[in-house]
Structure 1
């Protein structure tokens, strides 16, 4: 049902005190016979309130910290499961983001994904596969901004000629195009590695996410610059692209965390 688009799913890991430090989660699931009783909140969850199925990461053994985390499937409509306010975001405003609230929410034991205590590992492996998707999103945003900037540069007349005739603008467009293609190649290489059945790809996933998202922020900012005052107006699309690009540097792990992931993995190779 999820694969064919009939139902939406959501990934619920982040909490108010567990962002980059995902192991700091506080939402709990206490075993009670053939059910778990969930209590706590999840923050900034994409598709919150819209999704039918939620993968929720909880502590089934608080004394073990991250090693006591587990993953449960919770369905919308389950008693004790509700939603907070719709977040008013800077970008990706077409995507619903809400808080998930669990108040003595009873979930059947058979909704456990894997085994108790493997939740953190499941979350990290999921992120290794989802980071290239964020990178692909970043490439698409940048491509759109670049195309808008190039078209505008050929149409906008200043000093008696299109601004595309000025070397300063030409160099900006050349740099934008080059960076986009470099990011696209890195994303495709990472996707190819994952599809090949490779067991380890955390480093490559982090690399393509960092490079593509930083590139998207730079390209969209330059697109706004090329459009000048018009670029700053909501009447034109590039300011939206710049706002949308920013989140790609933040979610699925901040780019600062990604650089730590890259460093820790590459140092194991020597």
Structure 2
């Protein structure tokens, strides 16, 4: 098992121990949840290290439901690797059972246009429809579409560099919570919240009330890259908005690593007096009595 898998087992063992120490006997349902998480964590590492093997296993599992005559390659073989885009979890195979029984069917094609009675496909086939559910093709709202300003000047986040996927160069007193694509979003929420508390306590202790992340001298000339490596994760909604996202750097501290096990160890140890943190006091305006 990989180091990440061993760490996950340790984590779940700790959770189980805490539950028992509280005098609560884990129910079968709770144990099942832990078992599922163990399985998913082991699978995640296999997706990343042996994608071709996982792809073959997924297709073979679908083939067992659909039979040897179904065109698996056409309908269930995407252009991307497993977990390069999100996977649909079908624990009991009900989708495949529905197709195999004839209760449902699947068409794999590209949409040319909508018509009065259905969808015209690029292959020339026309699908007659009663209801069309538009479930894809949305545009990502970067930072909620909020217009930010610093000293009256609008902030263009595409011209900033992210510090660990939390802060942005030249944007003071701002931390963004952006979770993990392949793990529970709230795992990172906890890590970032702890970091913010440490940062605020540090600022209180040093009498500072403003902090910015800035590139260090050694980072000048560093290669700037898209927010997310397309070879790692490339759903269409992210690719369409990547030009609006902050940049990442080739140094790991200037990137969102998407690695919980790495960040779980690193974020609590971040040195808050390091060169990349620039602190200051706000200028107090002097006013005179009228």
Does the alignment reach a TM-score above 0.5? no
Q: How would you bin the TM-score normalised by the shorter chain? A: under 0.3
Task: Pick the structure with greater CA Rg.
Answer: 2
| TM-score between both structures, scaled by the size of structure 1 | 0.26
- Structure whose residues are more often helix by fraction: 1
